[in-house]
Structure 1
């Protein structure tokens, strides 16, 4: 990775970690204000796909900033993993801006945290993905493998909800909608994931072909 992209990765990792830390602080504080515990605040924090995906983004960017020094860092630097991360963080932004933004109106530092995780990190990471991630090895079938993450989150949320009675997003709220409607909603979201994943593979493979053609063209 060239130095400009490593600098971008470092900046993104630091900014993303700052936004996550702010979100964690507010999650704990709001839980304490309601008579809960610190652990309850952390548990609430870890219920949101936005948070889990921004943690994944921070891990990928941190790995890019540090370099492939061990097996864990090399895993996060795999083109497939980095592209799956781009798919997930893009969906975070799309769902928030089209379905959830109007449901609440944060202010102050909470607004800062909200803007970082929903509005800044998604395009910043996709920008990093476009310029820094090698894409010649991307394959169409990988898109289906990448769905294991959102599918796993869905089952995680259903299990949490069955135990605690709390669901992080309105379209997954079994208490209000029932399991049948939530399943329909989940399938619709999964199709959006697949569509974005296919788009990223198509763009990535096209970029790789153009780069290969440029490198083989005589001066």
Structure 2
């Protein structure tokens, strides 16, 4: 009976953790979109372009093209799916789970070390930024360390997951060339040129692989010493 109670309590904690994580992703993205709808978009520092969006629907929809927004959405959906069903075995799920974990970690690192001085239009946007760039990445890593799911990192899955940020970079540069607008100053071709932007993209891709290696190391060395919290 005690073992059953422990197992049920562990499962409840698992569902609760990922449910809260999914909710915070929803809150962060919702606050960001609310602010985008009500304000004119802010140019990145030292931007080489003058194009802006909003206030209104164009500003709201434009925010879906931010790496931060996309990584929080992916993380939130995969967390929600884990809260519904902790046992996930498909390659498709684990690829997207890796994308969510790695991309949200990149979001945290790049923002806090490179983009933190980017202006925010109001306090709602500032709160959204804190949730999306600090709280959600922290929960993502803590959730990975405590709950896993373990055994999801493989060379095949990392290789597939790596196509997502590559596709994002290509799409952003093509769209930027058409609209003359870029979401971040590190992708601002009008200011840095394609050579300068390529250096940042290469550095972020290397960071992606480093984080993937870190997650693989956790599974190999730390994972076996951590219980599943559901047994």
Q: Smaller-chain TM-score range?
A: 0.7 to 0.9
The answer to whether the 8 A contact 2:19-2:80 is kept is: yes
1:206 aligns with 2:216: no
Name the structure where helix makes up a greater proportion of residues. 1
The answer to whether the 8 A contact 1:46-1:52 is kept is: yes
* C-alpha separation in 2, matches of 1:76 and 1:61: 16
CA separation of 1:35 and 1:183: change in aligned 2, threshold 3 A: closer
Equivalent position to 1:28, from 33, 37, 40: 37
1:51 aligns with 2:69: yes
Equivalent position to 2:18, from 9, 33, 52: 9
* C-alpha separation in 2, matches of 1:120 and 1:32: 24
* C-alpha separation in 2, matches of 1:32 and 1:114: 14
The within-5 A match list for 1:108-187 is 108-187=123-202
TM-score scaled by structure 1? 0.84
* Structure 1 residue 75 displacement after superposition: 5.4
| Matching residue of 2:204 | 189
TM-score scaled by structure 2? 0.80
CA separation of 1:80 and 1:46: change in aligned 2, threshold 3 A: closer
Computed over aligned residues only, the root mean square deviation of the Cα atoms, in angstroms, reads: 2.7
* Structure 1 residue 168 displacement after superposition: 0.6
Gaps of 5+ in 2: 1-9, 43-51
SS in 1 for 2:116: helix
User: 1:47-100 deviations in whole A, cap 9, x for unaligned?
Assistant: 21000000111101111122279xxx8759844432332111111000000000
The answer to whether the 8 A contact 1:27-1:41 is kept is: yes
* C-alpha separation in 2, matches of 1:32 and 1:184: 26
How many residue pairs align between the two structures?
Answer: 209
Higher relative CO (Cα under 8 Å, sequence separation at least 6) belongs to 2
CA separation of 1:76 and 1:85: change in aligned 2, threshold 3 A: farther
CA separation of 1:7 and 1:139: change in aligned 2, threshold 3 A: same
| Matching residue of 2:118 | 103
The answer to whether the 8 A contact 1:96-1:118 is kept is: yes
User: 1:119-155 deviations in whole A, cap 9, x for unaligned?
Assistant: 1000111111222223235223432322111101101
